[in-house]
Structure 1
């Protein structure tokens, strides 16, 4: 029985709840495997072959290969686990967050230093920008 999830109405936001955790279990376990240097080397040597060792969905594998973190989140990924992919690629968390917004790292940093994105139109899907 699905629980009432009023937080699904927050635009551009995926809440990592129990359902998402179950959906992304193997994706997140893959990410945690990247904590070991030998696994990072194996992944970088042949990303697809390494991913195929995990019982992930094809959508999850394609999202990882494309480094599309928004797709990874939708497929059950947890941002703290997904950060291991960025670290494997030598990318900062700021770079990764910027890639999720469609901004450059510099644009993202400037937005955050200026106080973050406006809340107008970002509270619930039906809210209109003011």
Structure 2
């Protein structure tokens, strides 16, 4: 798994790079697509034209790599939901905390910068 870092900027360049990845994840809002994805994840990735790196990140559920490869949290969360992962779980992954630690940090006012 890729090491967590402080931020991920989804600018125009990253958005273009992640277009196929975000389309795939966005397609998972439909039940039929979730079924097709679950039946053959690799073929589903190929059908959306993911790069080899994006495909590897999806198949290995390397959430941080997905963001680094242009994925948007709003789309990758659809894939996480398919795996019964919460937003708090992903928040923990992206910040290097457990889901419980991340939840506690948010409840106590979030991360303090300064």
Which of the five TM-score ranges fits, normalised by the shorter chain? 0.7 to 0.9
For 1:19, the equivalent position in structure 2 comes to: 13
- Quote the residue 1:48 is aligned against: 42
TM-fit CA distance, 1:117: 2.1
Runs of 4+ in 1 over 3 A off after TM superposition: none
Query: Over residues 40-96 of structure 1, what are the superposed CA-to-partner deviations in whole Å (9 max), with x where a residue is unaligned?
Result: 011112211211212111111111112122111110001101111011112221122
Q: 1:6 — aligned with what?
A: none
Give ranges in structure 2 of 5+ residues lacking alignment. none
Unaligned runs of 5+ in 1: 1-10, 121-130
Partner of 2:89: 95
Q: 2: CA distance between counterparts of 1:102 and 1:13?
A: 12
Alignment of 1:1-130 (within 5 A): 12-120=6-114
For normalisation by structure 2, the TM-score amounts to: 0.87
CA RMSD for the aligned pairs? Answer: 1.4
The structure, 1 or 2, with the larger RCO (C-alpha pairs under 8 Å, 6+ apart) is 2
Choose 1 or 2 for highest CA Rg.
1
